[in-house]
Structures are given as C-alpha cells and as structure tokens.
Structure 1
C-alpha cells in the first residue's frame, strides 16, 4: 500500500463541484492527504477573433477569473476542519487528456470525480480516465453527504484485492467503522460435464471461495477477524451483485482493486472494475490501483 498524499479533484463549474469539494474535505482528513489539487479543464478560454472585433467589450472568462470563482467555492464548501495545501489549476483542451496528463505531472495518488444523475451539465466522463489512469480513483455520487460507518471491499483474492484491503484497513484503523469483504463468485460454464447440478456446483465454488479467503488472510497477514460474504453471480452481472449487496448493508463506501487475475484484465482497468465504474449507483466507489503500473503501455494507448 502507498500513502495517498496527493488528491486531484476534477471540477466542471457545475453544482456538483460544491458537493464534491465537501466530500473531498472529509476524505482528505481520513486519508491524511497533504496536498489537494482542484483542476478545471476549459475547452477554449479565448473568444473567436471576429466576435472580439464586433464586440470589443465582451470578455471571455480567463483562467484567473475561473480560478477566483473556484477558490470561493472551495472556501465555502471545504467543511471539514482538516487543513492541507490546496492548489487550483485551470487548463485548456480535452478534459480526459488534460486530467490524465496532470495526474502524472503532479504525481497524484488519487483522483476524485463526481457521478451526476439529475444535475445539469454533462460533467467529466470518468470511464476513459478510470480505464487508463495510473492512479487510484474515487467516484462520488450526486447528493451523497459524507459519512463512513460501513465499508465493503470487493475481493477476488488477487494482489489487487490485497491493495484494496490494505487501503480499507488504513482508512478504518482506530475508528468505529464496520469493515467487511465481499466475494462474488461464478459457476463455470462447463459445470454440467461433471454430472453436478448448477446448485450443487455453486456450493462447490462457494467452498473454494472460502478456502481462497482463508489463504488470502494468512498470506497477507490480515486480521483474523475480517469477515467475508459470498454472493453468487448467476447472470454475469458482477456490478449488480456488488452494489446490491452494498445497498442492502447500508454501505457508505465500496472499495475494490483495479484488476482481476488473468488475461486482458492485467493490462487495463479490469472487466469487473470497469462494469462497476459505469454502474449507476448512489454509493461512493474507490478503485485502488497500484501506482504507475503499466505506465509505458498506457501512455502509448492515450495517443491512439
């Protein structure tokens, strides 16, 4: 696990910004972050030349005026007592490309992005950013007021699950926060060749998952009292199962690693994590990535 010292908050000058800043003020306190960057990417800060000629008194909002506007919102919305260095960055260009660029330049440990549902504005689409960024990601749904009484970590017992559990343990250490793990398991396609019924093989797979969990705890020296729940994914909808369980448990945050065990999941975000990122949920989601992993590959990918 690495310490999350630098947060980057992606803003789009909408009502969502205030909610995001409020949430991030408490998140920074829990993570003990040292520096928070607030970044807004404008598509174009300059007015067209013919418009300026026809209307010389018309001024485009420049980066200084946008920064002043954001500074006022930060001052108003930063509601936790936690004090850290705050930096406002105004950039121009494609939002996804610029955010990914500045994540690298500023050596950011975690991005914080909003998930809109009813608020106006398209916002910043997190899918591409989440897929290729070499840093962890926190997604905050619209309207969610910060509280952290219960955390669920989705695990498949891989090394990326180890990172997620480590982060969860760090966040909940010495705090009255309920922490539990969740494993979503499946029945293999060829189960019928064994002569077993679907339900019989589901029981077998759950037994294997329990064995994997015990080995996972011992291998990583995690607390022996960590509890793991098991949910059968019977329709190839792991995101639905993860959020459904978390919702039933009144969970305040879901944490998961970025990748699975095999195949293309070892290159990008991971198929399950990708489905979870695009899932329309009211629960905050933290995707924990191993910082800098596959950096050369991802830089090449962004140029495509």
Structure 2
C-alpha cells in the first residue's frame, strides 16, 4: 500500500475544487492518505476578489474574511465527504503570494503529496504545473478540469532510470490497492540522426537494433528492480515526432480513464537531463488525465 499519509490540497474556491474533493474521496485509501490539509491562499485579506466571499460578507459583515473563506471551504468539504469524513481534514486559509506560499506550506506541514487542480486556461495566479513539478519537494497529483474519478489504466513513461522504477512500483501498488488495473510501461525509442540508419545489420536495419536493445534493456531493468514480467504491459513506440512528451500524452489520451505516473527526473541514452524536462512538459500539457509525479 502507498503511504502518502499527509496530503495538501490547493483550494481556490472554483468549481474545480469539487472535482478534486470527489477524486480524493474515491482514491484516498489507495493513495494511503490519512490527513488532508485543504489550503486556500489569498493575495490580500483586505481585498477578497471571490464572489462567494463577497456574498457571505453581505450577510455576515462582522466575520473576518479568512473565517468566511474557511466557512465556504467547509461547506464544499461537507458536500462531498458528509458530516463524518473518512479521513482527517484540516482547512487552512493563508495570505500571500499563492505560488510561494504553496511551496512554503508543503514544507511546513511536511506533506507527502500535494494535490492540485489544473485548469484549461490559466487565470494568472502564477501557480503553473511546470513550476510546481520542478520545485516542490513532495509528490504531486494534478487533476485536470474535466477528469473523472474512474481509473482503469495506469501508464508509466519508462526510460529505465531509478526514477522510472520508483514510478512503476508506485503504479503497481496503486493497481493492487484498486481493482488490479493494468500498468502500462511506455518506452519511447529515441531515433538517432538519419545517417546512422544504413550501418551494420542491413537485414534488420538500425531501427530494428534499437528496438531489440530496448527490449533487452527492459528485461535487465525489471530484473534489477524486482519487477515481475506479468505485472506490467510493455509498450514500445518510436519517437517519430521528436517529442517525447507529445507521444506520452497521445498514448494516454488514446486509452480510457488513465492515470499517468511519472518520476520527477530521469535519463536517456542521449541527455541525462532530458526526462526531467519531459516531466515538466507533460505536467504543463496534460489535459484529460490525472498525473501523479513521484519523487
């Protein structure tokens, strides 16, 4: 079982909050969450800009703004979890720059998992998925606007690194804690410059050799990390677009109800830093599927 015991959810009083809460209600046991902090950050307590807070102000003008916001969040938590939540939920309302305070409170609360919504259009908060994926110390779960709560496939982009192994093991634990959903190990075969294609082994071609090497590397990778062959579905695709992130996102969108699971950093045979930037691009570009980034 996973042990993201302490989780922090970024709340912004938008409709996306309810999607986040429903997703966590469905999967908090599989994720191992025991305590959930619901955190809302306001740039300025003296100038609240949300209509729900303004509405409450008209009926309870004597209440401080942070208490009104807390009351609004409590109402949403109660709507989803009921009067007796299955896990401990603590609501925090803080003032400051949203991105900076979000990173600060993940450290203060020593959380194992940061949960964030991902809107189709940025509203200028400064909290971008790419920045968070790069800088937060905890694992991160992004739930895009419109993503459902069902998970029937788990997809792990695999570059045979230590971080990919960690992501695969997390995905396998999630699968066992859910309903045995298949775990897809997706390896994108990077293509060298065209002048290499006419070298040795013309009967198979250089691309054939690359694919064969990938299969051999996958076997060694599973053996080294104790991952049984029958636990995962191996998938190999050519990097025909010269864009690893685009291939991963397309594969995820082609399958039903996917949760993407990735390591924060990794390596490829060509650039030791490349997979880290791929993780950031996927965090920035993912739209229909939740994304779990593990450290």
- TM-score, normalised relative to structure 2: 0.85
Whether the aligned pair in 2 keeps the contact of 1:254 and 1:283 (CA below 8 Å) is yes
Q: Which residue of 2 aligns with 1:253?
A: 259
C-alpha distance in 2, partners of 1:283/1:154?
A: 14
Name the CA shift for 1:240/1:82 in 2 (closer, same or farther; >3 Å): farther
Q: Which residue of 2 aligns with 1:162?
A: 165
Tell me the CA shift for residue 203 of structure 1: 2.1
C-alpha distance in 2, partners of 1:168/1:109?
A: 16
Whether the aligned pair in 2 keeps the contact of 1:186 and 1:202 (CA below 8 Å) is no
Instruction: Report the more deviating stretch, 234-243 or 58-67.
Output: 58-67
Q: Which residue of 1 aligns with 2:190?
A: 186
CA RMSD of aligned residues (A): 2.7
Are 2:180 and 1:176 aligned? yes
Q: Which residue of 1 aligns with 2:22?
A: 22
Tell me the CA shift for residue 37 of structure 1: 0.8
Name the CA shift for 1:216/1:68 in 2 (closer, same or farther; >3 Å): same
Q: List gaps (5 residues or longer) in structure 1.
A: 49-56, 290-304
C-alpha distance in 1, partners of 2:24/2:64?
A: 26
Q: Which residue of 1 aligns with 2:9?
A: 9
Tell me the CA shift for residue 180 of structure 1: 1.8
Are 2:240 and 1:234 aligned? yes
Alignment of 1:1-304 (within 5 A): 3-47=3-47, 62-78=65-81, 83-117=86-120, 121-122=123-124, 124-173=127-176, 175-189=179-193, 192-193=195-196, 195-196=198-199, 200-225=205-230, 226-261=232-267, 265=273, 270-289=276-295
CA deviation vs aligned residue, 1:22-44 (integer Å, no higher than 9, x gap):
11222312212111111111000
Tell me the CA shift for residue 110 of structure 1: 1.0
Q: Which residue of 2 aligns with 1:301?
A: none
Q: Which residue of 2 aligns with 1:298?
A: none
C-alpha distance in 1, partners of 2:253/2:7?
A: 27
Tell me the CA shift for residue 59 of structure 1: 7.0
C-alpha distance in 2, partners of 1:201/1:109?
A: 44
C-alpha distance in 2, partners of 1:261/1:68?
A: 46
C-alpha distance in 1, partners of 2:37/2:47?
A: 27
Name the CA shift for 1:247/1:60 in 2 (closer, same or farther; >3 Å): same
C-alpha distance in 1, partners of 2:62/2:292?
A: 40
C-alpha distance in 2, partners of 1:265/1:11?
A: 32
Whether the aligned pair in 1 keeps the contact of 2:241 and 2:247 (CA below 8 Å) is no
Q: What is the number of equivalent residue pairs in this alignment?
A: 275
1:156 aligns to what SS in structure 2?
Answer: coil
Tell me the CA shift for residue 195 of structure 1: 3.1
CA deviation vs aligned residue, 1:133-165 (integer Å, no higher than 9, x gap):
111111111122201211111111100001101
1:188 aligns to what SS in structure 2?
Answer: coil
Whether the aligned pair in 1 keeps the contact of 2:2 and 2:32 (CA below 8 Å) is no
